[in-house]
Amino acid sequence: MSQFLQFLFSGVTVGATYALAALGFTLIYNASNVINFAQGEFIMLGGMLTVYFVNAGLPLPLAVALAIALPAVVGMLVEKLAIEPAKRSSQGAEVVSLIIITIGASLVIRGVVQVWLGKGTHAFPAFSGSEPIAIGGATLLPQSLWVLGGTALIVVALWLFFSRSLAGKAILATSYNPLAAQLVGIDTQWVLLVSFALSAALGAFGGILLTPITMTSYDVGIMLGLKGFVAAVVGGLGSGLGAVAGGLLVGIVEAMAAGYISSAYKDAVPFLLIFVILFFLPRGLFGAKITERV
Amino acid sequence: MKRQRGLFVLAAVLLLLPLALPNAFYYDIVIRMMINAVVVLGLNLLMGFAGQISLGHAGFFGIGAYAAAILPTRYGWHPLAAMLGGALLTAALAALVARPIFRLRGHYLAMATLGLGIIIAIVLKNEGAYTGGPDGMAVPALGLFGFALDGEKQWYWVFAANLLFSVWACRNLVDSPFGRALRALHGSEIAAQVVGVDVARYKAAIFVFSAFFASIMGSLSADYVGFVTPNVADFFHSIELVTMVVVGGMASIFGSVVGAVLLTALPQALATLEGWETVTFGAILMLFMIFLPRGLVPTLAARCWRSR
């Protein structure tokens, strides 16, 4: 039982990061129908930049703030310099082209970090010590509480943003129907820009919280991003609630499989999960039934 | 006759090229270009005509490569039988994955193939007892009719014939009823559906076909190199293949060849700039998609045609 609890703790912790990444995918997907392959790189940027700023002698809170702000700027740059021109081009960008552009962006980000900060694996000390807390025979790292608390805070903040603020409602309106949103005076260009900034910041925040537990390096983005996407699909692409539930589910299933079956195949588990979901529940857990007009 | 002009030009280039190749090093580069060109041809049918991306083609290539290594060494299969066995296994796997995914709207295939590719790479690394683990394993030489292929010069003709045949086959495929259905699908999926094209079935068929292509080339290249490592199934290899399609031009058969030639040469040119390869590939992908979304060959062809 205590073993089960232990696996559950580690699954929920890493699952919370997947949930943040999945929320990032969901935001951009809703605003533009683009699946942003660079999402994982924002997670990596969060961790790597914090390490860089902490080593440069900045206090941790400032380092964290910068490591959230910079990826947000990078996200906006990707949108402004790559997605927008492609959407405007005469070809009327197909979804495939947009996906390829985000793959290109992710390679550029990863490559630049590799050249700039090297291939080493890094971490910074946990926010409040690393003395494990014993619960029911299992142990929990204080940093895990930070991860869970941080994620919960973000989810509540996002919910308030989307349900109470005008800006949030404008984004929601755009995701329902871009043309109608434009007609009532919403600047959909701006919505797209904000979505990229917001989802980059979400990813970076998750990356920062997780780094003291799992360490980081220039190439962690691919896996984390992919698992975030799996989480988004498992939850039902486009659903915020689904993204969070999917993230936690993917994290827990992965941790259980690593513990009880084989840790060598831990990384394969989320992808097997996505095949199972696509076979039996093609809309995911919370995905809406879509009828499309031609 | 006019239709076949491109094919004759390609055949002439392939025939004359050995005269210009000074040593085995250059032969090796050209052979790698030809291997990539054939895999890219298959991938281009999927990307160009079905409008879907596979980010796991290196995984299919890897299955072919490891089939050529494992089946003859551990089970005594003939290398040609191993090649076919690997290709059939790959096709079966692709078919299993394709059906449910193509029934969905949106771009699940990109992620599903990415996941599949990663699973294949993980299996190749972890099943050391069969695959030799991260260190890889040797591949027995490929013999044909009691005569073993050896050296870059002999292999050159094998791959040249292979490339020529593949280009010919792809062109015929595109012009066949099957190809017409694919092109209809590319134009408008809904319209194609209305005139009775089973969209999901055609997309799945082309996906399986291109995976089969990749596996065959994986086996051949493993036979040629004589050694395989899990790196053949690497994610970056899949990205390279997609970049080749994009640069040459989606839905362009000769574009595939041009893309493969240019991007196989690129890492040689970048060898001095270590670490910048990833950035370069990423930048090329973005720049082409933004400024030249149709790729080199179709854009140039359109320009020549207009100026005439």
CB contact under 8 A, B111 and A111: no
For B154, the 3-state DSSP assignment is: helix
- How much is the mean pLDDT over chain A? 86
pLDDT band at A288 (very low <50, low <70, confident <90, very high): low
Mean pLDDT over A54-72 rounds to 94
The answer to whether residue A235 is domain-embedded is no
Chain B nearest-CA residue for A268: B119
CA atoms within 13 A on the CB side of A281: 15
B62 vs A157: CA distance, rounded Å: 45
Question: Among B55, B282, B294, whose Cβ lies nearest the Cβ of A107?
Answer: B282
* DSSP string over B203-260: HHHHHHHHHHHHHHHHHHHHHHHSEE-GGGG-HHHHHHHHHHHHHH-TT-HHHHHHHH
Residue-wise pLDDT for A254-281, tens only, equals 999 988 888 888 888 888 888 787 777 7
CA distance B41 to chain A (A): 18
The predicted pLDDT at position A289 comes to: 56
Contact assessment for residue B252 and residue B295, using Cβ atoms and an 8 Å cutoff = yes
The predicted pLDDT at position A121 comes to: 87
The predicted pLDDT at position B1 comes to: 47
Question: Among B97, B104, B276, whose Cβ lies nearest the Cβ of A282?
Answer: B104
The answer to whether residue A158 is domain-embedded is yes
Chain A nearest-CA residue for B126: A264
For helices B151-175 and B5-20, the axis angle rounded to 10 degrees is: 170
Contact list, A115 vs chain B (CB under 8 Å)? 275-276, 279
CB contact under 8 A, B103 and A230: no
A230 vs A251: CA distance, rounded Å: 11
Chain A nearest-CA residue for B277: A111
B125 vs B122: CA distance, rounded Å: 5
The predicted pLDDT at position B195 comes to: 76
Chain B nearest-CA residue for A263: B126
Question: Among A111, A230, A292, whose Cβ lies nearest the Cβ of B278?
Answer: A111
pLDDT band at A292 (very low <50, low <70, confident <90, very high): very low
Residue A139 has pLDDT above 80, yes or no: yes
Residue B283 touches chain A, beta carbons under 8 Å: yes
Residue B105 touches chain A, beta carbons under 8 Å: yes
Contact list, A229 vs chain B (CB under 8 Å)? 111
Residue B187 touches chain A, beta carbons under 8 Å: no
Question: Among A99, A106, A292, whose Cβ lies nearest the Cβ of B110?
Answer: A99
B271 vs A185: CA distance, rounded Å: 52
Residue-wise pLDDT for A87-103, tens only, equals 776 555 567 788 888 98
In terms of pLDDT, which residue wins out, A164 or B267?
A164
CB contact under 8 A, A104 and B286: yes
Contact list, A100 vs chain B (CB under 8 Å)? 53, 242, 246, 285, 289
CB contact under 8 A, A108 and B100: no
Distances (CA, A) of B23 to B151, B153, B222: 11, 9, 21
CA distance B11 to chain A (A): 32
Question: Among A104, A271, A274, whose Cβ lies nearest the Cβ of B282?
Answer: A104
Mean pLDDT over A106-122 rounds to 90
Choose from A10-14, A69-73, B49-53 the range with maximum mean pLDDT. A69-73
Residue B97 touches chain A, beta carbons under 8 Å: yes
The answer to whether residue A200 is domain-embedded is yes
The DSSP output letter for A135 is E
CA distance B106 to chain A (A): 9
Q: Residue A155: give the domain boundaries.
A: 2-220
CB contact under 8 A, A86 and B290: yes
Which of B290, B292, B294, B299 is most worth mutating to test chain A (most A CB atoms within 10 A of its CB)? B290
The predicted pLDDT at position A89 comes to: 67
Which of A41, A84, A108 is most worth mutating to test chain B (most B CB atoms within 10 A of its CB)? A108
Residue B301 touches chain A, beta carbons under 8 Å: no
Nearest to B54 by CA among B192, B224, B208, B197: B208
Contact list, A289 vs chain B (CB under 8 Å)? none
Q: Which residues contact A5 (CB under 8 A, 6 or more apart)?
A: A135, A136, A137, A138
The answer to whether residue A265 is domain-embedded is no
Mean pLDDT over A161-187 rounds to 87
Sequence spans of domains, chain B: 37-307
Which of A25, A41, A107 is most worth mutating to test chain B (most B CB atoms within 10 A of its CB)? A107
Residue A290 has pLDDT above 60, yes or no: no
Q: Give the distance, in angstroms, between the CA of residue B41 and the centroid of all CA atoms in the same chain.
A: 6
Q: Specify which residues A122 forms β-bridges with.
A: A216
Question: Among B97, B123, B289, whose Cβ lies nearest the Cβ of A104?
Answer: B289
Share of chain A above pLDDT 70, in %: 95
The predicted pLDDT at position B304 comes to: 79
Checking DSSP bridges between strand B143-144 and strand A138-140, what pairing results, if any? unpaired
The predicted pLDDT at position B118 comes to: 87
CA dihedral A207, A208, A214, A220 (to 10 degrees): 40
Q: Count of domains in chain A?
A: 1
For A159, the 3-state DSSP assignment is: helix
Residue B114 touches chain A, beta carbons under 8 Å: yes
Residue-wise pLDDT for A212-242, tens only, equals 988 898 888 888 888 998 898 888 877 888 8
Where chain B has pLDDT below 50, the residues are 1
The answer to whether residue A257 is domain-embedded is no
pLDDT band at A44 (very low <50, low <70, confident <90, very high): very high
Residue A284 has pLDDT above 80, yes or no: no
Contact list, A225 vs chain B (CB under 8 Å)? none
Considering all CA atoms of chain A, what is the largest pairwise distance in Å, rounded to the nearest integer? 63
The predicted pLDDT at position A204 comes to: 94
Residue B43 touches chain A, beta carbons under 8 Å: no
What is the reported pTM? Answer: 0.86
CA distance A118 to chain B (A): 9
CB contact under 8 A, B289 and A233: no
B154 vs A88: CA distance, rounded Å: 50
